[in-house]
């Protein structure tokens, strides 16, 4: 695989394969690349990598100003390393949002400027749009037919389907890119967890920064592994998804022959786990996706295919289900903000959760992770 790396490197890096990957390794200040790889020195401690994608749609329910605000809440306020898929024509706009956020009064008041200087942001601009991603080659040929099958056609379009259905690939590709980078420079970051986060998911203002919290993730995934009796020496893939509700009995028994499971069970805005787990999920998702597409099912909505993947692999998926618990589900007082994005506070450190709750004027109870299809 060929990388285009910072100009300060004296030679191009060729790491097998024939797919050209445009990988720009920058600091979150959006300044000129300053990272110079070295093969000496100790390895950095493990980190969390957030993967997202932003391709402006020709038809959208929201104005660009809304997306810029949400993108800033994600890219400009979190100190977590990020891998961003976007078009080459839009990269500079995203860099500008980050630069303005990092130089904001809020960042200076919280004395966080130095923290952001340590963050890594990777831009991948190989695709001008999500319909160009390799796993969607066959889908792209029948995108119009798929659109015609959508019961919510008035609200969706093929470009939106492509963003949804490329999520698993985007996360897997980020893992592969980071592995290639690590093979070249042993001092490059090691990522213990890799997660997808929708570019427009952080809609509410917050004071989160080191999110999701590493200690919180370790605790949740250890609890999940213990629940299913996973062997520590050969751990089974575990992928965390936030969930809207528990599946009913007939949904738990849903089979592939019935096609995608069109219920609001899993939320598609966030998911992930260890690198090996998300690679397993990528291969599992697209194997099923291709079979369903070949049989003529509508596969444009990621959540319906995610539901089916979970029902077929119940011991591999877990997450929070806040609406199933009375202490959290009393949304009349709106204690945790938008229920759909409960996981933002659920995955925060205790300190940042308290700070955000004080900022928002709420108190958000914590629930235990569950395996919904068991």
What integer pLDDT is reported at residue 30 of this predicted model? 35
Binned at pLDDT 50, 70 and 90, residue 3 comes out as very low
User: Is 0.85 surpassed by the pTM of this model?
Assistant: yes
Query: Number of C-alpha atoms within 13 angstroms, CB side, residue 281?
Result: 35
Alpha carbons 43 and 338: distance in angstroms, whole number: 39
Using the predicted structure, report yes or no on whether residue 202 has a pLDDT greater than 50.
Answer: yes
Q: Are strands 191-197 and 270-273 parallel, antiparallel or unpaired?
A: antiparallel
What phi and psi values does residue 301 have, to the nearest 5 degrees?
A: -100, 115
Mean pLDDT along residues 34-40: 33
Question: How high is the mean pLDDT of the chain?
Answer: 84
Q: Which two tokens stand for residue 359?
A: 């900022």
User: How large is the angle between the packed helices 302-312 and 275-294, nearest 10 degrees?
Assistant: 110
What integer pLDDT is reported at residue 190 of this predicted model? 95
Alpha carbons 180 and 184: distance in angstroms, whole number: 6
What Rg, from alpha-carbon coordinates, does the chain have?
A: 20
Interior/surface letters 225-256, b for 16+ CB within 10 angstroms, e for the rest: bebeebeeeeeebbbbbbbbbebeeebbebeb
What integer pLDDT is reported at residue 87 of this predicted model? 96
What integer pLDDT is reported at residue 43 of this predicted model? 54
What integer pLDDT is reported at residue 38 of this predicted model? 33
Mean pLDDT along residues 268-287: 98
The CATH architecture of the domain made up of 2-320 is: Alpha-Beta Complex (3.90)
Convert the pLDDT of each residue in 50-60 to its tens digit.
Answer: 999 999 887 77
Residue 121 is given by DSSP the state E
Convert the pLDDT of each residue in 223-258 to its tens digit.
Answer: 999 999 988 777 899 999 999 999 999 999 999 999
Greater pLDDT, 169 or 32: 169
Binned at pLDDT 50, 70 and 90, residue 106 comes out as low
Domain-wise residue ranges, the chain: 2-320
């Amino acid at each position: 695989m060929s990388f285009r790396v910072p100009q300060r490197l004296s030679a191009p890096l060729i790491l097998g394969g024939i797919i050209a990957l445009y990988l720009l390794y920058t600091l979150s200040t959006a300044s000129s690349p300053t990272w110079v790889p070295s093969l000496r020195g100790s390895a950095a401690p493990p980190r969390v990598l957030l993967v997202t994608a932003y391709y402006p749609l020709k038809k959208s329910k929201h104005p660009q100003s809304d997306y810029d605000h949400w993108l800033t809440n994600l890219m400009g306020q979190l100190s977590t390393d990020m891998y961003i898929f976007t078009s080459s024509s839009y990269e500079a706009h995203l860099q500008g949002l980050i630069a303005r956020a990092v130089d904001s009064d809020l960042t200076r008041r919280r004395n966080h400027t130095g923290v952001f200087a340590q963050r890594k942001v990777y831009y991948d601009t190989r695709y001008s749009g999500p319909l160009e991603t390799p796993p969607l080659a066959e889908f792209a040929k029948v995108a119009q037919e798929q659109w015609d099958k959508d019961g919510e056609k008035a609200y969706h379009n093929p470009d939106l389907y492509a963003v949804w259905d490329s999520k698993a690939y985007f996360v897997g590709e980020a893992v592969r890119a980071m592995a290639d980078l690590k093979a070249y420079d042993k001092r490059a970051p090691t990522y213990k967890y890799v997660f997808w986060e929708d570019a427009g998911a952080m809609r509410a203002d917050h004071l989160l920064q080191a999110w999701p919290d590493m200690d919180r993730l370790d605790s949740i995934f250890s609890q999940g592994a213990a629940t299913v009796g996973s062997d520590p020496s050969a751990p089974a893939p575990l992928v965390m998804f936030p969930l809207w509700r528990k599946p009913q009995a007939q949904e738990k028994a849903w089979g592939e022959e019935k096609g995608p499971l069109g219920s609001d069970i899993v939320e598609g805005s966030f998911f992930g786990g260890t690198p090996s787990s998300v690679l397993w999920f990528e291969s599992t998702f697209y194997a099923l996706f291709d079979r369903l597409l070949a049989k003529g099912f509508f596969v444009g909505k990621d959540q319906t295919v995610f539901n089916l993947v979970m029902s077929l692999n119940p011991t591999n998926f877990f997450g929070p289900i806040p609406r199933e618990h009375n202490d959290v589900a009393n949304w009349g007082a709106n204690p945790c903000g938008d229920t759909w994005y409960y996981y933002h506070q659920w995955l925060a450190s205790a300190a940042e959760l308290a700070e955000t709750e004080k900022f928002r004027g709420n108190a958000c109870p914590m629930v235990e992770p569950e395996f919904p299809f068991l």
